[in-house]
């Protein structure tokens, strides 16, 4: 490889990569260029030379793709959160279908060449869809800013008008930044490691209720701030404080306490309501969540007499979609607060056929089987890291007749299908665009035992 850092080269983009970057070849060397689109002819500058590839920045487009559009966000390039906003939306959906095909081709699960992959289900209005934000806070000349780190850095980009964020949550975080400045609340910096690190704001789509979490590394007095904040924004019904004293990339620490208001906000999806405590996981895009869960219900194709396990259940949302249609539902999650929410939500809905435990799926499922609980159907909705190896082994040991895999990472999905395809047939994959303008997609996989 003869390429050097800062070298400028012409390049034709052959395809797009899993992070939304353009990919081309220069003298047989693989080149990744963020911001470039398939079919474009560009001029770029090498920024990093690796063993098998180089990275470059886009300098000039000599031949522009007809699918290139002007990004709707002023800080699109600086923020880096929306990697493909410069691609026309219908072509974003095609790209996300191609992501699945690329991942399958890389990992090669059995029979992948013949998998049915349906077109990605998109949004009619792909803007302001994020009902939750987690913004870092930093102080600049005694002025607090809230936003996100620029890609691959610890440089904060202040965000006051995010194109994909719910408008009210954006207004609230803007107000919080001003109040943090006004009341001189200690703000975290990496040298002192002291103060408010992150603020989370989440809004329930169906009820409009809002909860706020301040993540801090030290004791802070928020009484005056809370008085003003709740007066300015009456939709806020919960304010919590989470303690994270560790020097870590993890956002949350172990301890969360309610400072003001209710224990949880109320949300609804499909035909049922549920509560969300501050630490409980729920999808960022409530509108598309209805689509995603509907696809999961359709894929499992239940008859009514199944015993169902909902692994990685969170507050129980996916399992509740099945609870009135099956004999029983059991779920587990590693966050105890989420399990308490699941139990409370089931009770609230009058469900008597559900059971929830806090812990790891790979440990609890074998315990249930040893106790005599035999699941006919399984739903898994793992984090981006995919299924734990022990859980994969557990699934292959017990082999429930029906299975649905809800994935938020096409790479770990394809990896896991290598193992699952030993015992299951992939009936189809349906991708759902939960994160318009980003390089991420969700997918629902229907599996049946061979």
Position 84 in a domain: no
Position 193 in a domain: yes
Domain boundary among 213, 235, 269: 269
Could you list the active site residues? 408
Same domain, yes or no: 310 and 432: yes
Same domain, yes or no: 205 and 296: no
Same domain, yes or no: 116 and 255: no
Same domain, yes or no: 207 and 340: no
Same domain, yes or no: 104 and 233: no
Position 90 in a domain: no
Position 327 in a domain: yes
- pLDDT in the model for residue 340: 95
The arrangement of strands across the sheet holding 377-380 comes to 117-121, 424-432, 442-449, 402-407, 377-380, 307-311, 328-333, 354-358
Position 242 in a domain: yes
Same domain, yes or no: 57 and 172: no
Local structure of 143: helix, strand or coil: strand
Range of the domain at 313: 96-124+285-449
CA separation for the pair 23, 87 (Å, rounded): 15
CB 164 within 8 A of CB 130: yes
Report the CATH number that the domain containing residue 385 is assigned in CATH: 3.40.50.150
Same domain, yes or no: 193 and 140: yes
Domain boundary among 269, 304, 324: 269
Position 86 in a domain: no
Residues 6+ apart with CB under 8 A from 337: 256, 277, 278, 279, 280
Same domain, yes or no: 162 and 253: yes
CA separation for the pair 137, 186 (Å, rounded): 10
CA separation for the pair 35, 312 (Å, rounded): 35
Nearest CA to 381 out of 297, 274, 275, 449 is that of 297
Report the CATH number that the domain containing residue 257 is assigned in CATH: 2.40.50.1070
- pLDDT in the model for residue 1: 64
Same domain, yes or no: 200 and 293: no
- pLDDT in the model for residue 257: 96
Domain boundary among 269, 301, 330: 269
Same domain, yes or no: 120 and 219: no
CA separation for the pair 28, 175 (Å, rounded): 52
Looking at the structure of the chain, the number of domains it has is 3
- How many Cα atoms sit within 13 Å of 444 on the Cβ side? 26
Same domain, yes or no: 21 and 58: yes
Q: Report residues of the chain scoring pLDDT below 70.
A: 1
312 in a known ligand binding site: yes
Report the CATH number that the domain containing residue 23 is assigned in CATH: 2.40.50.140
Position 82 in a domain: no
333 in a known ligand binding site: yes
Position 79 in a domain: no
Same domain, yes or no: 115 and 236: no
381 in a known ligand binding site: yes
- pLDDT in the model for residue 195: 94
């Amino acid at each position: 490889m003869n390429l050097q850092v800062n070298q400028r080269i012409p390049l034709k983009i052959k395809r797009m990569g899993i992070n939304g970057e353009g990919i081309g070849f220069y003298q047989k060397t693989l080149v990744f260029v963020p911001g470039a689109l398939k079919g474009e002819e560009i001029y770029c500058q090498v920024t990093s030379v690796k063993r098998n590839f180089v990275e470059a920045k886009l300098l000039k487009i000599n031949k522009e793709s007809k699918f290139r559009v002007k990004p709707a966000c002023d800080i699109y390039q600086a923020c880096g959160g929306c990697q493909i906003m410069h691609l026309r939306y219908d072509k974003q959906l095609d790209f996300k279908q191609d992501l699945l095909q690329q991942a399958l081709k890389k990992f090669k699960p059995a029979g992948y060449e013949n998998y049915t992959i349906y077109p990605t289900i998109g949004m009619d209005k792909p803007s302001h869809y994020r009902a939750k934000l987690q913004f870092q806070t930093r102080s600049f000349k005694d002025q607090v800013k809230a936003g996100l780190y620029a890609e691959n850095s610890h440089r904060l980009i202040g965000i006051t008008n995010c194109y994909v964020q719910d408008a009210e949550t954006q207004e609230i975080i803007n107000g919080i930044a001003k109040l943090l400045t006004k009341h001189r609340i200690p703000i975290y910096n990496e040298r002192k490691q002291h103060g408010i690190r992150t603020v989370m704001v989440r809004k329930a789509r169906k009820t409009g209720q809002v909860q706020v979490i301040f993540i801090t590394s030290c004791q802070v007095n928020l009484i005056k701030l809370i008085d003003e904040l709740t007066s300015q924004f009456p939709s806020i019904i919960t304010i919590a404080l989470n303690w994270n004293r560790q020097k870590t990339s993890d956002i949350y620490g172990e301890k969360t306490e309610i400072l003001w208001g209710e224990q949880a906000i109320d949300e609804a999806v499909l035909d049922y309501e549920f509560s969300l405590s501050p630490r409980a996981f729920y999808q960022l895009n409530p509108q598309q969540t209805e689509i995603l869960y509907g696809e999961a219900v359709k894929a499992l194709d239940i008859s009514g007499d199944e015993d169902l396990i909902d692994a990685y259940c969170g507050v129980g949302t996916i399992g509740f979609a099945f609870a009135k249609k099956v004999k029983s539902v059991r779920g587990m999650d590693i966050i105890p607060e989420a399990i308490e929410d699941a139990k409370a939500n089931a009770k609230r809905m009058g469900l008597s056929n559900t059971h929830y435990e806090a812990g790891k799926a790979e440990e609890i499922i074998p315990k249930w089987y040893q106790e005599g609980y035999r699941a006919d159907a399984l739903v898994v909705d793992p984090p981006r890291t995919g299924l734990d190896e022990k859980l994969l082994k557990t699934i292959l040991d017990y082999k429930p007749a029906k299975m649905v895999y809800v994935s938020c990472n096409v790479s770990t999905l394809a990896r896991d299908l290598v193992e699952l395809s030993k015992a299951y047939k992939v009936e189809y994959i349906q991708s759902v665009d939960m994160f318009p303008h980003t390089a991420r997609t969700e997918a629902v996989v229907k599996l049946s035992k061979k």
